[in-house]
Amino acid sequence: MLGSKVKLFSQVMEEVYGSYNPSSNSSWKPKPYKEGKGRYLWTDAFGVCNFLTLFHHTQDQRFIYQAESLINEVHEVLGRDRNSKERLGKATDSEPLLGGLRIGKEDPEGEEDGDGQYFHYLTKWMFALNRMSIIKGDQKYNNWAISLAKSVHPYFVYIKDPKSKRLGMRWKMSIDLSYPHVPSEGNLDPFDGFVTYRLLAEASKDPNVLEKEINDMKSMVMAKYSHYQSFDALDLGEALWLSHWYPNEQWSLEVAKKSTLCLEVLWESGYFFKRSNHRLAFREFGTTIGVQVNSFAAQDGRWMERVNKLNDEWKENLFSRDKDITPVMYCTSLIPGVFDKVVLSSSSSSSENK
């Protein structure tokens, strides 16, 4: 069963990122998704992790190389302005993330769904770099993730109430981080930062490297977790994924319980049974990933059957909406791999030593 999943997983990734010729290691580059949309940060964060998952299951070095190449391409494309000329902020060739990373939206900045920087996309990229660092045994990638966190944190986090010093977050910033496109706070942004920053610090040689940033996020999470609620399939899946990293902490237990209950309401309401053209597959893959890795959600044995049902349903229409986010997240739903903390604990030795 796993072998057939790995084969399908690999085939879909090849369809998205292009075929790989072992004799031309140094020349392989991920193909752009389509005209005007060469890279997309959320999708490519999942893409890097998917290549690492394939390496974990096959021990084939090609997947490490493809992950590296994808990382470099993202830094070259999304770490520059939309004209591909200047690096963002104070970034350099050796420190490519000091100005953050663009989302990679097709529409220009200023449009309703235009380009800019999303915090929850940036944390996904930090996570992908962290996984690469651990599996390859190379601190460079985790250090890049830390520099990204330190660079963008002051722009997304601000003092919301001067009297109480209560912090808030901005959901979307301009490409140059000079002003907020969307000043409101994302439902999970503080949780994203709190979990991701801690994973980066734990993998660093200096465990206190993000102490201030972690404390900022913690203060927001502690004020927010008891009120958490959502009826969005992706949001709930992400909440389950985030809470599975520190399952014994009170905020995590509460978020896992609430997310599982809300997902059950969503399932019973018939949301997942609507016609496919009224749903978005990648949002449902958020659900299917979250319930697979979170032990609290997994206690309900019905969810594995539901995951298989949804994967089978969407398999027939993987590329009908888009050529990137849907098929790439489908692969993660098929095998969560390095998105699961259990795989982290079994990937302690680097690929260079294998």
For residue range 48-86, list pLDDT tens digits in order. Answer: 999 999 999 999 999 999 999 999 999 999 999 999 889
For the residues 225-241, what does the mean pLDDT come to? Answer: 96
For the residues 257-281, what does the mean pLDDT come to? Answer: 94
Among 26-30, 136-140, 232-236, 243-247, the least confident range: 26-30
The C-alpha torsion from 287 through 288 and 293 to 297, rounded to 10°, is 70
Assess whether pLDDT exceeds 50 at residue 347.
Answer: no
Domain extent, residue 142, equals 98-226
Q: How many Cα atoms occupy the beta-carbon half-sphere of 208 within 13 Å?
A: 0
Residue 25, pLDDT score: 62
The predicted-structure confidence for 179-205, as pLDDT tens digits, reads as follows 999 988 999 999 999 999 999 999 999
Amino acid sitting at position 309: K
Q: How many domains does the chain have?
A: 1
In SS3 terms, 174-191 reads as CCCCCCEEECCCCCCHHH
Q: Among residues of the chain, what percentage have pLDDT more than 70?
A: 95
Residue 21, pLDDT score: 83
Strands 166-169 and 157-161: antiparallel
Residue 37, pLDDT score: 58
Assess whether pLDDT exceeds 80 at residue 36.
Answer: no
- The pair phi, psi for residue 169, each rounded to 5°, is -130, 150
For the residues 291-318, what does the mean pLDDT come to? Answer: 94
Residue 27's pLDDT band, with cuts at 50, 70 and 90, is: confident
The model's pTM is: 0.95
Residue 265 lies in a domain: no
Q: What is the mean pLDDT of the chain?
A: 93
Residue 263, pLDDT score: 96
Indicate if the alpha-carbon torsion angle 194, 340, 17, 200 is positive or negative: positive
Give dist(CA 268, CA 281) in Å, integer. 18
Residue 186 lies in a domain: yes
Assess whether pLDDT exceeds 90 at residue 350.
Answer: no
Residue 286 lies in a domain: no
Residue 141 lies in a domain: yes
Give dist(CA 258, CA 185) in Å, integer. 20
Instruction: State both tokens at 35.
Output: 């005209």
Instruction: State both tokens at 12.
Output: 């879909």
Residue 23's pLDDT band, with cuts at 50, 70 and 90, is: confident
